[in-house]
Amino acid sequence: MTNSGSDRPGEFEMIARLFAPLSHSAPGAFGLTDDAATIAPPAGEELVVTADALVEGVHFLRDDPPESIAKKSLRMNLSDLAAKGAKPMAYLLALSLPDWIDIAWLETFARGLGEDQRAYEIHLIGGDTTRTPGPLTLAITAMGSIPRGTMIRRSGAQAGDLIFVSGTIGDAGGGLAILKGEGDSISDAQRAALIARYREPLPRVTLGLALRGIASASLDVSDGLLADLGHIAETSKVRIAVDVMRVPLSPALQACWRDDQVARVRAATAGDDYEIAFTAPEANRSVVLEAAAGAGVAVTEIGRAEAGHGVVLLDAGGREIAVPRKGFTHF
């Protein structure tokens, strides 16, 4: 890949050969043969740029299939673009590889990237590969495009706006719990469904595009629904109240964690959902639901923004639930 700084040229040439085909549809990538790439958004649009790093043991497990690790790393970035209303264009990939990674692993990894590139219409345009004595680490910088000035910010929520979330919440947390030994009582199909949500999240790219001009604030749920809504509350200077029993749970998660308040609190404070949480004026409610139907994604109204600050979970009687931990914290 571009800028490859390695003392094992044979191996790294092979890596370049694996990754160069992923760049062939991007004219400014020059087949990964130059020091840098060029990229231009369509006329009248601007680039939306986001970066996410994934570390073995933190975002994925060493035994996860290489194609799943590839897809999760790309999809985490696609999820950020989706939450901003951006159309995916291109990405850069930096790999820090420990010695246990072999060419067969990399071939499977590259195949996973290729499958997602076709699914989400995004192209590799460059990156870097190094060795590391530490854990496997992947850093992706993704770029999308959006009509100038229309990126959906975190800061646009107003008191009175409704709170929505796409898909279902807590499935990835359930999948991780299963990989760590929970969930003996549920069916194999349900276990597989939850583990798939942990390993291969589903970025809501089509929904994100449909929310342009409709949502007042938006972000993707990575650290936990409650923690991430807290970011909207803080930047928008509103209080966000979420009705815990409206937090959407999948049938598989209900089987695994039950369908009570405890399960919904746990789901709202688990992480790795990669759903879109957003706000919209009440007048846009039907437009939101039409946009979601058009995108083929379920969207659930879960609460309301009010004057004040912070984020709270309310029980079925409207009383505030004490939540010791709102989500995943990295430090």
Binding site for Mg ion (CB under 5 A): 80, 220, 222
CA distances 91 to 122, 143, 149, 164, 284, Å, are 7, 6, 22, 29, 33
Sheet-wide strand order for 137-147:
45-55, 137-147, 87-97, 123-131
Minimal distance in Å, beta carbon 258 to Mg ion? 29
CA distances 242 to 100, 312, 326, Å, are 45, 6, 13
Minimal distance in Å, beta carbon 57 to Mg ion? 21
Minimal distance in Å, beta carbon 31 to Mg ion? 31
How far is the C-alpha of 279 from the C-alpha of 238, rounded, in Å? 11
Q: For Mg ion, which is the closer residue by CB, 110 or 205?
A: 205
Q: For Mg ion, which is the closer residue by CB, 45 or 220?
A: 220
Burial class (CB in 10 A: 0-12, 13-18, 19+), 47: middle
How far is the C-alpha of 52 from the C-alpha of 86, rounded, in Å? 16
Minimal distance in Å, beta carbon 179 to Mg ion? 23
Q: For Mg ion, which is the closer residue by CB, 221 or 291?
A: 221
Give the Cβ contact number of residue 131 at 10 Å.
Answer: 17
Minimal distance in Å, beta carbon 222 to Mg ion? 5
How far is the C-alpha of 78 from the C-alpha of 99, rounded, in Å? 29
Minimal distance in Å, beta carbon 27 to Mg ion? 29
Crossing angle of the two packed helices 225-236 and 261-269, in degrees rounded to 10: 60
Q: For Mg ion, which is the closer residue by CB, 145 or 222?
A: 222
Q: For Mg ion, which is the closer residue by CB, 97 or 152?
A: 152
Q: For Mg ion, which is the closer residue by CB, 144 or 183?
A: 144
Closest by alpha carbon to 87, among 58, 113, 121, 112?
121
